[in-house]
Amino acid sequence: MQLPKIKNGLSIGIMGGTFDPIHLGHLVIAEEVRIQFKLDKVIFVPTGHPPHKPAAGVTNPEHRYLMTVLATMNNPYFTVSRVEIDCLKGTTYTIDTIRFFKEYFGGDVNLYFITGADAIMEITSWKDYKELVSICHFIAATRPGYTLKKVKDTIRKKCPEVLEQISVLEIPAMQISSTLIRERVRAGKPIKYLTPDSVTAYIYKNGLYRDVSHKV
Ligand code: ATP
Ligand code: MG
């Protein structure tokens, strides 16, 4: 059964990610979901220590946080939270973040977790995923290589009971990833138009993705 929507309650999107760095793919999906689901706000939540990525390979959270602030500052509906960086100790799990926001906003809130298709297909490996989908609606954006059909078929096969709690949204194809940007910077290739200019400037100014000293 689909999560009942609380009438007159705020509708808040939570966009989790490593954002190492944030790029136009993230911004496009957040804005598209905001409009289609009539969200009042989208909160970007850079991960502290993501369970799916080796800690040693991730850039210092302060850099990732600041790049996320720079990238979102022109959109009045976007904001950035430090909850996973400051408050949640150790490895950060989405269930803890969602519980935090549930408590923070109180009862009258409809929470939507925004994610990419690649991530949602691994949902059964997420901590307490059944509880997660019972307190928060999931919106998965398609990504090159992950069609709407592929996502739905995979979830139907792995965990049919959560299928109804997940909306899959077709997004204009964006073959951009943080991995691609890191590789291009390392190779001395341009990253213009893949991420906002402010983020590009921040990356060059701080020597990110060239120098391993910025890793945690
Ligand atoms: P990396 O290459 O380091 O894994 P990424 O580009 O996948 O980085 P993440 O910070 O891992 O970025 O992603 C945060 C969320 O945004 C994930 O749920 C991911 O699926 C989604 N996402 C990232 N890029 C895109 C894109 N181009 N189209 C759709 N979803 C995306
Ligand atoms: Mg990723």
Question: Are 79 and 41 in contact, with CB atoms under 8 Å apart?
Answer: yes
Q: Is the CB of 20 under 6 A from ligand 1?
A: yes
Nearest CA to ligand 1 atom 16: 116
pLDDT of residue 87: 81
Residue 134 has which token pair? Answer: 């019972």
Instruction: State the average pLDDT for the chain.
Output: 90
Q: Is the CB of 29 under 6 A from ligand 1?
A: yes
Q: Is the CB of 11 under 6 A from ligand 1?
A: no
Distance CA 20, CA 26 (A): 11
pLDDT in tens, 3-53: 667 667 899 999 999 999 999 999 999 999 999 999 999 999 999 876 666
Nearest CA to ligand 1 atom 6: 177
Residue 178 has which token pair? Answer: 């943080």
In CATH terms, the superfamily for domain 11-205 is HUPs (3.40.50.620)
Ligand 1 centroid to residue 26 C-alpha, Å: 7
Q: Helices 61-72 and 24-36: crossing angle, nearest 10°?
A: 50
Nearest ligand (C-alpha, residue 67): 1
pLDDT in tens, 153-168: 999 998 888 888 899 9
pLDDT of residue 57: 82
Distance CA 47, CA 71 (A): 16
- Nearest atom, ligand 1, residue 142 CA: 29
pLDDT in tens, 138-150: 999 999 888 889 9
Q: Is the CB of 71 under 6 A from ligand 1?
A: no
Taking the whole predicted model, whether its pTM rises above 0.85 is answered as yes
| SS3 assignment, position 44 | strand
Cα first-last separation, the chain:
42
Residue in 14, 15, 18, 94 to alter for ligand 1 test, most ligand atoms within 8 A of Cβ: 18
